[in-house]
Structure 1
Amino acid sequence: MYITDEDNPRLPFLRDKTSKLTTSPGCYIMKDKMKKIIYIGKAKNLRNRVTSYFRKCQDHLPKVWKMVSHVYDYDFIVTDSEFEALVLECSLIKQYTPKYNILLKDDKGYSYIRVTNEDYPRLQAVLQKYDDGAEYIGPYTSSFAVKQAVIEANKVFMLPTCTRKFPQDFRKQRPCLNMHIKQCMGVCTGKFSKEEYNSIVRQAVDYIRNGSSDSVERLTEEMNKAAEELDFELAAKLRDRIQAIQKAAESQKIINDDIHDTDIIAIAQNGEMACASVIMYRGGRLFDKASYFLGEKDDSVKMREDFLMQYYSSKDSIPKDILLDEDITNGEIIEKFLRQKYDHAVNISTPKRGQFLRLTTLAKSNATEYLSIKVGRTSREITALEELAKALGLPKTPKYIECYDISNLASTNMVAGMVVFENGRPCKKYYKKFSIKTVAEQNDYACMQEVIERRFRNYFEKTDEGFSIMPDLILLDGGNGHVNAVEPVLERMGVTCPLFGLVKDSKHRTRAVATGGGEISLAKCRAAFNLVTAIQDEVHRVAITYQAQKHKKNAHRLEITKVKGIGDKKAAKLITEYKTKEALKKATVEELAKTAGVNIDTARELKEIIDEM
């Protein structure tokens, strides 16, 4: 979004003031008309950074645009280094809590693991502790950690999670799918005694409390003892349980002896909104999770750096390792700040593979779920847009996507369809259909150029609400040739919008995204691939349906012009008036004569032709 003097009449004054600003490092403090501090930032070069806010034709994110539109004046504090500016910024934000800086709020409660009081007890995650005779483990500050621990324990020890009551429901129904896929031991078959089942539940509780290593040691001792006593059936069961725990330990994310004190941080974005999730490991166990709604999103790197500073500036302690889902620019400076503040080593890194990458993916998934609740979108839609932005190298997540397709029969009935996807969903009220006007012979490139020029001419002339929004991304149903044909049109009209083509394979399925000079595969970005495929299928449907409708009307008109005295103009009048073939057939001879402006004899002949259509 571009900031203008109309948006903020103080911009000329602010530009003049900034032109005299020092190039030294420091902090700048933005204030509104009431002299209230609304934003605090740091800079390696104060003049360059502050100038970027007030420069003419500067394209801002919506959050920054709002902030700049309210700036009446600003102060600044010069420091000796960028590191000192970082420390000062953190202190000032904590002191003044400006409106447009990231301010973290998190609602926390307590959760428990409940071992129900019944003959065949279950493991459950609950939010309250009741006087019901059940055993409660906790409290824990993280409901997320509790839920994950219960899910993992039930899976490893194959405990039932269904609603059946035992022993009342023994052998009343066939075992469910969970037993057949080795997710449940099959208590409903009646093959497990109360004592044997309770022993397994105690092992599961021990697994939750002490971790996989201790559980394996205890079960190994029990297995060896059973073997010595020649109870080979019990020894075999214990062996299978040990193997299940060891197998689960390879992929599960709840208990991991290789991860001691670590925070994993990821940020999810949807349009203009963002959310951060922090997953905390302490002593090799998933300890807690916190999610923070960040409001309107900022620059991806800056947002992560600001979050790190705000989140850890108020903590009593900090882990040695911090894992991020994406790289940041000032990681070394932030590490230095955190080391000095907490007096121990702090390492910030972005894992690219292995178990640590799986953890950042888990954090990202939690941030996406939290954000989806806030913005009313599914996590799949948010993930698809984020994957697409990353794969295409877009500066921001595309909230508003337009896609175009050309359809024709040789050089007749040439049309185009335009579909709009907003926040990952079709927005049919903005769909458009175009009849090609300036291209006489079949030429998909020329047709696409005409359509794009007409679309943005309407945008600048503000003649149609459906064309009033500048898209975040334009997709063309075609390859590099289409992109190369349309790019000069956008450049000539002054439109700066990411442009890509959609390439299909020999079976007319989406294969890749064309850049104008090459292709980008989305094979590894499943959510983005599915979204792009849906967009391409939808625009093809709209274009080909419109082309078929137009061809059908033209076929009717061609039949009508066989009547002497009925030319193209009169045929068009009839088609426009009666819309459909059925309506045309219902018209009387007199009505046809009046509509077409012909005599009764011609109208009778016309009626005969229409009835035979």
Structure 2
Amino acid sequence: MQGTSLKPGEHLQLPDLPGVYKYYNAEDILIYVGKAKSLKKRVASYFNKNAGLNHKTRRMVREIKKIEFTIVNSEFDALLLENNLIKKTQPRYNILLKDDKTYPYLLLTNEHFPRIYPTRRVIPSKGTYFGPFASVKAMNNVLDLIRSIFTIRTCKLDLHPAKIAEQKYKICLEYHIGNCLGPCEALIGEPDYLKDIEHAKSILKGSLGIPKAYFRNKMQEEADNLSFEKAQRYKDKLDLLEKYQAKSLVTSPSVTSLDIITLVSDEKFAFVNYMRIKNGAINLTKSVELKKKLDESDEELLLTALIRLQDQFLSEAKEVLTNIELVESYETLSITVPKIGDKRKLVELSLKNALYFKKEKALNAGEVVDKKNRILKQLQADLSLKDLPDHIECFDNSNIQGSHPVASMVCFLNGKPANKEYRHYHIKTVEGPNDFASMTEVVGRRYARLLEENKPLPKLIVIDGGKGQLSSSVEALKNLGIYGKIPIIGIAKRLEEIYFPEDPFPLHIDKKSESLRLIQRIRDEAHRFAITFHRDVRSKKAIGTILTEIPGIGNDTADKLLKHFKSYKKITEATESEIYNLIGKSRGQKLIAAIKEKSG
């Protein structure tokens, strides 16, 4: 195995040998790793103007500034090396398995009186690892079976023979309830203990035949000796093994150990199901999603998924069944598409899982959209609207006895708040507490502006208020000549009644209805937005009054201070130079003197 690098214009110097190539961009960041039977031909295909590359691939090629390559002995070696490099570096343009989970293992420790326990960290020096298991439930099923059949210790004591001989330990509760045989006090010898461990290892390897034969022989032996209670205990253990095996998907005695992988794809994604058969039973199944990066073929996607899943689940299978014919063959791996028999049925089962996974992903992707559209369609039906109300605007007024009157408009697009479209309004033409006239002004200003800027009008207008506020809003729409073109409703707070223009009778929507909840949410958001704005205005006016009471500080100077410092507190914390630079030294000195006087 050897490696070197070239510039993109030197790609024809690549050898006509199998290997792995790596593309780097101007920042010397690895952006793509690929394998090839012939490095020269494969890399040249990226730079051939007549190659018919898609848009994403052309974009990647434009980024390539350096090519590194490594020659290997065979195409299969290239496949393995490519997988390791992608897993380690995760280049931008490579296919990535959408699965970032860590999987559990069962560890058989390499200590005196070994233990078996679950872990997600693989440290080879600690012992032998079995797995990984596709789910915690599957792992616990195996562990529970082993612990119910064999009496294996669970403590963390160092049971070295010298320490046991020194009587350093005492038996614990686990011994008294029958979950341990007391190796800490030498109540069981290590050779006898290891016999159970060997049978447990057989189960972990998926070979149930060995412990079944052992228990069957022991049961018969005890029965012959008229030790029927012991014989029953062995029978119970045999029954547990039989029951566990019955839960496994047993395939056929003719099918021993192999892997099955099937793939279905669409324009953007590929959906893969992987099954591992061991000793005639399916002992692992996993479905994953791959995102296409460069319009890869199904064959490329299948090989990528196969190598990574075999690596992830430590598969040693040399035979692989699939649903896609591969053009290339590999020396150390037999990949076939079975046509008849048990193997064909297994491929069909895996393909069924891949198709179901694809369907499930599609449903999950559309679930949010469907829910949103469902509510909007329900609202459309409840209000008898012509169009789907995917653009809703709601208005609310806020004032205290006519002081500092303001209004707000909130906008919901596709059932969600569009915060950038929210608007605040200072009431300009109305004197005193007149909500109706204020609503006429605000609605008129809003839609006069939209018409002037030729922007789209909403599909529904909601007014926070009853018939009075609604009638005032209708007046504004009539003045603009758009009444009847936009549906408009009012919602009265007390009974949550919906009012329509020129209709004296309100509409009562079911209080549990999702459409009413959406209207209430929009109304409440408009109210919150108006109240918050009103408080800010009141606060600024109050601070402005404090400032204008200072000799030499007028309204313009007070506004400049508030605009710059945002609050009276920050003005009091400002340095002299900051204040002088903003309003001049003379007024600044008066302001600072007044602040010091007020603070005492």
Which TM-score bucket, shorter chain as reference?
A: 0.3 to 0.5
**Based on CA coordinates, which of the two structures has the bigger radius of gyration?**
2
TM-score scaled by length of structure 1? 0.38
TM-score scaled by length of structure 2? 0.39
